[in-house]
Amino acid sequence: MRETRLWSLHLLVIPIIAILLGAHFAVQHYAPVFFGTSVEEARSFEAMIARGKDTAQLVVYILLLAAGLYHGLYGTRGIIRELPLSPALAKVVDWGILLVGIAIFALGTYVTWWTFSHPGV
């Protein structure tokens, strides 16, 4: 039952990633079409900081990080768990993947928040 929920969540994050990544591409790479600005201007550091000051954009970045991390790490866990592992080693893999995911998410969230709250540093 637990594996079914984890697998379902793994599949659920695919459209979430597609939508959030699509929005990110629209803002970054199709700025002339949607916003009337040049691509260079949309990708400038100043524009990135300005977007980051928008709470919605900051939330999108963090959600994209969470969805991408879960999808990638759950897939990695699945590949590793296909190896002939003892139950004890399988638990170590599960906990290791979880701890790596939490550490990367915490670091990514902190860096994202810090970058947008300290412009020009």
Model pLDDT for residues 57-115, shown as the tens digit of each residue: 888 889 999 999 999 999 999 999 999 999 999 999 999 999 999 999 999 999 888 87
CATH number 1.20.1300 is the correct assignment for the domain at 2-117: yes
The pTM of the full predicted model, rounded to 2 decimals, is 0.82
Residue 19 has pLDDT above 70, yes or no: yes
- CA quadruple 7, 103, 109, 37: dihedral sign: negative
Query: In degrees rounded to 5, what are phi and psi of residue 113?
Result: -60, -45
Question: C-alpha angle with apex 47: 103 to 42, nearest 5 degrees?
Answer: 105
Q: What is the pLDDT of residue 121?
A: 57
**Domain boundaries of the chain, sorted by first residue:** 2-117
Closest CA to 62 of 107, 6, 7: 107
